[in-house]
Chains A and B, each alone.
Chain A
């Protein structure tokens, strides 16, 4: 693995962001809108339901966590799609970069993109709604890490689809998070789901992450098992996504997708 090459690919996207004000605005705008909206909804529910009586920031905290997941996943897809849209895809794949270097570089760049969007929005929550996500304590780090891993995993899976099927897979790139959101139990406990859906939800790391966030904020206790299962499923899906990406790369080399990408 070459740090220089990975830095080179990072630079390509860093330059792109710094050269385009609309791109920076796009990164910051949506998380801010999303969190402001959920902040008011959160305040409303906190004062009108008993479930959230002792935890004003539950919904908002979950909204922030979900937005981080969403931005990470979409961010990774965007980096890949940028290469297709700019017709630079072939240049990238004829550069002497290992697949591992491409993925590592995009993983780091996606994190930076997500943080650029999220940090201003998180800073807004305290003065606007009197809520700090830091109330989750040290476990906030583990929840974020877990969400980051899952966001990246989804990004790699979608990129594998783009490699395998070409730009026609783009629509799937935008819809994956919306498909999984109902099973993630982001804003409600898992008991709300029908039993069949609960079984599916337990196969995703999301449910453990959001259940644990609510558990910490509402019950003021920590269930390590939730964090453990979240990482366990994350590990399984992450390895699966890497295997699938390599498989898709080989299929693309057989089918010629790498040459015709963008057409």
Chain B
């Protein structure tokens, strides 16, 4: 399988503070990689670097074979991002927001794309609603539609189901599984929901204090650490001293 994301020894320093201390990983086509770690472990910084919002102090990032540095615009055309901490303009309707982002990503046949996504994400009845007046679950699905408007090859998800009720959360997870299979995209999933990570991710990176302290598939990690589930593994690793690197 082809690696759509390759991260080679990236570091990020904020002055004397080392937020990310030289991590390397890759994500294959048709793979969901989980990025776990306690708050302040460097997950957001890593995602920021992958999105070109943060310049690594050193190291290299390749997306779909292209080096991020020097090809930012070409790469941004192929990736997208969803996070509960960023929102779409609240006063615009759902359709207006998707149209705007369709234009920003230079999508041909925007209306067809919006129609397709609204059908897939159960947004048909909401297209003319004001985005700010939607429920959390509806807003989440609109953000997901925005994140898929450009048919990204790489999707970065930061807590995509945070604050969603179980039904909507399950819908989003099922949708992501199906979409990944159908389009063979790579997904990086940062989440604190261990059940979600266990269900979706083929492999996991555990980060702490800017380094990768463990990696493997969920079952391997559970067996390796002699715990009942991934949440217990997470707690063990978060509370212990760094084991790798």
Contacts and interface: CB of A to CB of B under 8 A. Distances in A.
Interface of A: 2, 4-5, 7-9, 11-12, 15-16, 19-20, 82, 86-98, 250, 253-256, 258-259
A95 B48 contact: no
B11 to A, nearest CB: 13
Interface of B: 14, 44-45, 48, 51-55, 73-74, 76-77, 79-81, 83, 85-93, 96, 99-106, 130, 146
A57 B83 CA distance: 55
B92 A19 contact: yes
A94 B74 CA distance: 11
15 contacts: A2-B106, A9-B100, A9-B103, A16-B89, A19-B91, A19-B92, A19-B96, A82-B89, A86-B87, A86-B88, A88-B87, A89-B86, A93-B53, A96-B73, A253-B52
B interface majority secondary structure: mixed
Contacts of B88: 86, 88, 91
Contact of A258 (B45, B54, B81, B146): B54
A249 to B, nearest CB: 10
B14 to A, nearest CB: 7
Contact of A5 (B52, B74, B90, B106): B106
Contacts of A256: 14, 45, 48, 53-54
A15 B77 contact: no
Contacts of A98: 73
Given A15-B92, A94-B52, A9 B73 contact: no
B229 to A, nearest CB: 31
A252 to B, nearest CB: 8
Contact of A8 (B48, B77, B87, B104): B104
Contacts of B87: 86-88
A90 B99 CA distance: 18
A12 B105 contact: no
A254 B12 CA distance: 9
